[in-house]
Structure 1
Amino acid sequence: MSSNPVFSGGTDSQVTSQVDGPDNLHPIEANADAILFLNSLQQEELQLFLFSETLVMVSDSGEPQGELTIQVQKGSRVDEFGIFTHCLFVHAFSRGFINKTVCGNSLQGYLSWNMEILEQQSQEFIKLQSIPMEQKLNLVTKDDRLIITRRVKEGEDVKTERITKSCSSIAGFISEAANLVLLRVMAWRQMVPSNARFLALDTEGKLCHSTYQCLGSQTVEINHQQVEVFVVEQNIHSQVGIPSSCQFYLLSDGHLAKRIQVGSPACCMIFKMPNVREKDEIESPPVFGKKDLVWEEDAELYSKFIDRKEELRLSHSRYLGQHPEAKAIISDFLLFLLLSQPEDVVTFASEHFSPYSPFEMPLTSWTSKHRLSLFCLPVSSWKEA
């Protein structure tokens, strides 16, 4: 998409160009609450709102007059230097009748993941029988400046106006494309930054304040189904044009159920309930209190114990079968122990097994019943003994 579109048709009767505009004497700025809200946006959250929706335009009597389609998806934009930027792409268009007058508009916008405008083109027209009216608005960010080009055509009369703003002076600016995404965020969070004052463009293409207000929750009927919606009102506080208000009735996942332009004879609403995304409930990790382990009552642990016990029994039996001398030595010791029944069993055992030691001379078990055993002495005294 070209950063500097060329508008065809008609002859410009008036062309004006301003740098930072006449409001530079009294600059209009977004407040801290608006900046804080925009800074809270995360790419992971915004990716929840990549879907399209279609609403039907109906008159006061309920007759269909047209339709409105809004689509938000991932996109990529190529600047004049051929550099690709991954971003959000917003496309919205409508066509219908108001009081039997053909009207319509279209919008294409590229947004960064923190809602800064990269480029946007919008067009709206009203086909009056006397004088057809058409307005084209182009926004493009270039060299840290926002260039706003507005072209209005009434019959054969064409007027073009261009305003350049530094990006630093329009922090908190919400374009039409960004507004459609932010409404989905507010519905998902069930929260409106009511004290925030953003920047926006009014119907004359002039910079002004934009605010949001929560009107609470309401129950509406969609395709014979009662659904709760979150109502948000946006107000454009124009200083030179006509202030405007628009009410948005939003489902919990950001789908637009109804849109009312205050003062308009028509509204937009859905007639088919979409698949509403539910919020993922993050359960807190379970807390387990300290509990004494009674392994005998645990079938799995008890089964493992029996298996291990049998494994050891077989291993021991196998070893004793391979070393029959071990059984003979133990039997002899028990035999002599029960015959002698000494008061000092440890000393008796040391004397009994001393013949098997390779470091001492063979002794009989009756050599000395009062000989001091090495097991009864400190380790440091073994050599002396």
Structure 2
Amino acid sequence: ITQSSQITSEQLLQQERLEIPKPNSDSLHYLEELVPEEDFKYVMFDDNLVTVSDTGKELGEFTVTVEPTRYKGLECFLIHANSHGSIDGVPCGTSIVCYVSKCLETLEQQHHEYVKLENCPLDRKTFLMRQSENYTVNRIITQGEDVQRTTKTIPVELMRGFISEGSNLLLHRLLIEKGMETDLQFISFDSETNLCPAIYKRLDERTQTVETVELRVFGIERTISSSVDLPTSWQSYFMKDGHLTNRVQVGSPVTMKLAKVPLKIERDEETPKPVFEKKDLKWEEDLQLHSRFLDRKEELKGDHATYMCHHPELRALLADFLQFLLLRKPDDVIAFAANYFAAFSTLIPDPSPYMASNAPTPFPASRTNAKIDELRNL
């Protein structure tokens, strides 16, 4: 049996009526504020836990690895999670291989679940892949001899704030690393790959004993609120460095626990930057600086004197201006100087004889000032 479906842009209005979930502003802000060089520095390590029943019987194992890699030329993270065991003599397990970008965007994920019942084994595979404009979701469900295949595509704009099962494992480590100030609502898939809210809440701190060692652990609860099924919650506890110590699905008799205290993740010690006090520069007391100042002063004085010798009209021009200034004694010396020297600019167009022809002006026109013409001809 093969089924195909597609969520297109034209169906957005219909989907909004069906209340397609959206992440809240805090969760989007959290993703936007990620600094890969800093935030992901200490989240790449392995977790190894054992699966136990409510009676303490060991049923299997649970492992998570996070490592840097490249996906189609893009730097990202490879997340690999495995859970295998046997419940009541029935082998079962889950395997996740996921490529996640540095902004927690899922690039590709393979999710495999199986329950090897004697008469009717169940095998469920889900493939999620991001393309340029859409996400493609392929599912293959095998139950006994019955095989169902479904395919659907979801526009990328509807997947903003989406956290897959693989990126969820990395997000938990980040929430412990960076802290969690408020509840965050992302979106995720339920068991039938329907988009639904995924709410993350901080749990109270507690102690957990591992190998006679008491650890202070920090908890996060993740709840998937499916629109077609009851909500499902997982509670996970971590050491301060991000190592997973306990994970349980609320209502399940099976718990994943840390059996051996892992080596503590060593962090780079940042050497404090030296602080240098600002000292006043008293160059007059420095013989070398004072000598350089005097040499430069004499150099400039000689340069200025040479320039004035080569341009004798400068002395006459300044003398005329000072004489005119002292005669007028204007309140605004700067404006007076601007108007005075503007008269000598060749860039100013000739005024029309019909405009303010009788307006009095105290300034000489450059083309009628015999003194200026005489200076220019020197």
TM-score, structure 2 length as denominator? 0.68
Q: Does the 8 A contact of 2:126 with 2:139 survive in 1? A: yes
Map 1:62-211 → 2, pairs under 5 A: 62-78=56-72, 84-191=73-180, 193-194=182-183, 196-211=184-199
- In the alignment, which of 218, 222, 230 is matched to residue 218 of structure 2? 230
The amino acid across from 1:204 in the alignment is E
Q: Does the 8 A contact of 2:208 with 2:217 survive in 1? A: yes
SS state of the match for residue 171, structure 2?
A: helix
Matched, 1:28 2:16: no
The amino acid across from 2:131 in the alignment is K
The amino acid across from 2:28 in the alignment is I
Map 1:281-360 → 2, pairs under 5 A: none
Q: Does the 8 A contact of 1:192 with 1:232 survive in 2? A: no
The amino acid across from 1:220 in the alignment is Q
Taking a change above 3 Å as real, the CA distance of residues 241 and 152 of structure 1, as seen in their structure-2 partners, is farther
Q: Does the 8 A contact of 1:190 with 1:230 survive in 2? A: no
TM-score, structure 1 length as denominator? 0.66
- In the alignment, which of 244, 258, 264 is matched to residue 246 of structure 2? 258
Q: Does the 8 A contact of 1:186 with 1:192 survive in 2? A: no
The amino acid across from 2:265 in the alignment is R
How many percent identity over aligned positions?
A: 34
Partner of 1:306: none
Partner of 2:206: 218
Q: Does the 8 A contact of 2:20 with 2:196 survive in 1? A: no
Q: Deviations over 1:318-364 (max 9, x none)?
A: xxxxxxxxxxxxxxxxxxxxxxxxxxxxxxxxxxxxxxxxxxxxxxx
- In structure 1, list runs of 5 or more residues that go unmatched: 1-12, 79-83, 291-385
Q: Deviations over 1:199-241 (max 9, x none)?
A: 1000111110000111111000011100000011100011013
Partner of 1:267: 255
Q: Does the 8 A contact of 1:219 with 1:227 survive in 2? A: yes
| TM superposition shift of 1:28 | 2.0
Question: 1: distance between equivalents of 2:40 and 2:277?
Answer: 40
Question: 1: distance between equivalents of 2:174 and 2:181?
Answer: 9
| TM superposition shift of 1:170 | 1.3
- In structure 2, list runs of 5 or more residues that go unmatched: 279-378
Question: 2: distance between equivalents of 1:55 and 1:287?
Answer: 46
The amino acid across from 2:152 in the alignment is I
Question: 1: distance between equivalents of 2:236 and 2:51?
Answer: 14
